[in-house]
Chains A and B, each alone.
Chain A
Amino acid sequence: MSSRRSRGTTTLTDDQIAELVSKLQQLLPELRNRRSNKASASKVLQETCNYVRNLHKQVDDLSDRLSRLLSTIDDNSPQASIIRSLID
């Protein structure tokens, strides 16, 4: 990547932008199914932001659920021994 380091200002060539945008597009669930890869860069960025926020929120929710479940788990349950055998 030959873009100049200039503190957040973009001096990319169009090709580089297109390449990175399509790379991100592959990862985003909503945009992946569109046939065209003509999604604008700003749209992709916007979807990316939303997606990252969504994933953060999922981590929060799952952490919450996991912490509740972990506190109730019985040490002698089969699940606990599976987990222990995986770690050791």
Chain B
Amino acid sequence: MSPQPSSTNPNSLKIQLAYQFLHNLNNLNSKRSNLATTHIRQRSNRVKIAAYASMAYVVGSRRAWSRAILRTIRNRRMLARNKRVDHKITHRPRSAKRRNPKRDYVDPNGNSGQEVKLRKLVPGVEKMDACGLLDETADYIKYLKTQVEVMKNLVDLYSTI
């Protein structure tokens, strides 16, 4: 459905993200209840989810952050479908490691505080070594930046009415 990124050319990346995002937005509009009738907060939330979903779909499972986002999305879907049943996905396996004291380890560079904060900001990197963490972060930032550009362009387009 969506083209796989063949290069890291920023323009082609932007086009892929735009395509995916528009596709997701279109699904939002047509599939569920009409956007115009749902609560504003809910609408905004759905657009936000569509944005992160676009990033994750374009990258697929090649990155830890995109895998984490895709997992979250799929869990949400399952939750939505099992609304009447007790949620099976309430306990998150990650919580066991959340208070891991090792995370406050102060490395030789004294980076502990920032590193911990970074791990909370970037999805999917909680258990990664520092090397992978920085690598994932750089990739995540690249896609986030482009997604923001796509959204800005869309807002401009829709505003010129």
**Contact, CB under 8 Å: A24 / B105:** no
B22 touches A87 (CB 8 A): yes
Query: Can you add 18 more A-B contacts, CB < 8 Å, to A23-B138, A71-B43?
Result: A1-B135, A8-B115, A8-B129, A17-B109, A20-B135, A24-B134, A45-B111, A46-B114, A48-B118, A55-B141, A59-B151, A60-B48, A62-B152, A64-B44, A73-B161, A79-B158, A86-B18, A87-B23
A residues sitting closer than 8 Å to B (CB atoms) are 1, 3-10, 12, 16-17, 20-21, 23-24, 27, 41-42, 45-46, 48-49, 51-53, 55-56, 58-60, 62-71, 73-74, 77, 79, 82-84, 86-87
Residue of A nearest to B116 (CB): A8
Question: Does any Cβ of A come within 8 Å of B46's Cβ?
Answer: yes
**What are 27 of the A-B contact pairs (CB < 8 Å)?**
A3-B131, A7-B127, A8-B130, A10-B115, A17-B109, A20-B135, A24-B137, A24-B138, A27-B138, A42-B109, A42-B111, A45-B114, A46-B114, A48-B118, A49-B114, A55-B145, A59-B48, A59-B151, A63-B45, A66-B155, A67-B44, A69-B155, A69-B158, A70-B43, A74-B161, A86-B18, A87-B26
* B residues adjacent to A (C-beta < 8 A): 18-19, 22-23, 25-26, 29, 35-36, 40, 43-48, 51-52, 100, 102-103, 105, 107-111, 114-115, 117-119, 121-122, 127-132, 134-135, 137-138, 140-142, 144-145, 147-148, 151-152, 154-155, 157-161
